[in-house]
Amino acid sequence: MTRVERSLSAALGLAQGCDAPPNLVNAMRYAVFPGGARIRARLCLAVARACEEDRPTLSSGVAASIELIHCASLVHDDLPCFDNAATRRGRPSVQRAFGEKIAVLAGDALIVLAIQSLVHCAERAQTRLGPLILILSRAMGAPSGIIAGQAWECEPQVALAKYQRAKTGALFAAATAAGAGAAGRDADHWHLLGERIGEAYQIADDIRDVVSTEDEMGKPSGRDQLLGRPNAVAQMGMTAAVAKLEELVRAAIGEIPPCAGAADLRAHILAEANRLLPRKLARPAA
């Protein structure tokens, strides 16, 4: 079991108890396990390691919080009033498996758990707690976190760059900043790396939406076209989109601040970028 899974499991344990309504707790667990690729959480840990983490419990904890926030956002995105998604990660979405009410409440409770579990992991590093919570809450809320990103879908005029930066970029930026912050480094220097990775991820996701099968995605493909959402492949064509992705990955790597583990972090980012591409487009591992 990896660090991320162990830390998520410990967090979910906080939500249980004989006083808990069973459906809510089961839905929370269902939303988190088994997970997706845990990309954001593993990125957070890769940064913490690159910064020579001195508080591994704290960095594992904040990585789990990043993942809990991601899971919460998926649960609410899938609600009938938004994407009305029937499947997620290859099986029924939370709203289909547990109903709409429990999906609203499980998303709410996962947001709370992301913060609560971090407090427990920060017991021996109290001065780092406040800054880390600010990183997480800015990545979630208004004006420019993922909730704000989703809210741009409710505006008559959408600024595409703002929308994508909030909806996708904010949590990647929080992942790198929080990884550094948990290791006692200046988190501000680490935001930009995550933002760039978020931009690359957005394009990779657009590419996968066009060329992957539902089996590979774990959710329906071709959704962007169906829902009239912007997609880089539709806008610039596949060849240009793949070239743009490679350019963004290079740009991201160029943003790695000086740190002891820069080489490993670079390798991590490259491997992830290759993994994100559909099999038919991915390059053989170097």
The pair of structure tokens assigned to 41 is: 């959480």
To its own copies, the closest distance from the beta carbon of 150 in angstroms equals 6
- Our CB check for its own copies shows the closer of 12 and 273 to be 12
To its own copies, the closest distance from the beta carbon of 231 in angstroms equals 21
To its own copies, the closest distance from the beta carbon of 112 in angstroms equals 4
Residue 165 amino acid letter? R
- The dihedral over CA atoms of 97, 114, 8, 117, expressed in degrees to the nearest 10, equals -130
The pair of structure tokens assigned to 204 is: 């990779």
Cα–Cα–Cα angle for 210, 71, 278, rounded to 5 degrees: 25
Establish whether the linkage from the previous residue to 56 is cis, with ω within 30° of 0: no
To its own copies, the closest distance from the beta carbon of 111 in angstroms equals 6
- Our CB check for its own copies shows the closer of 137 and 274 to be 137
- Our CB check for its own copies shows the closer of 33 and 260 to be 33
To its own copies, the closest distance from the beta carbon of 20 in angstroms equals 3
- Our CB check for its own copies shows the closer of 146 and 217 to be 146
Note whether 73 and 106 are within 8 A (CB): no
Nearest partner of 281 among 214, 225, 210, judged by Cα: 210
- Our CB check for its own copies shows the closer of 30 and 152 to be 152
Separation CA 59–CA 10 (nearest Å)? 14
Residues binding its own copies (CB under 8 A): 15-25, 28, 76, 79, 81-82, 99-102, 104-105, 107-109, 111-113, 115-116, 119, 122-123, 126-127, 129-130, 133-134, 137-138, 140-145, 147-148, 150-155, 162, 166
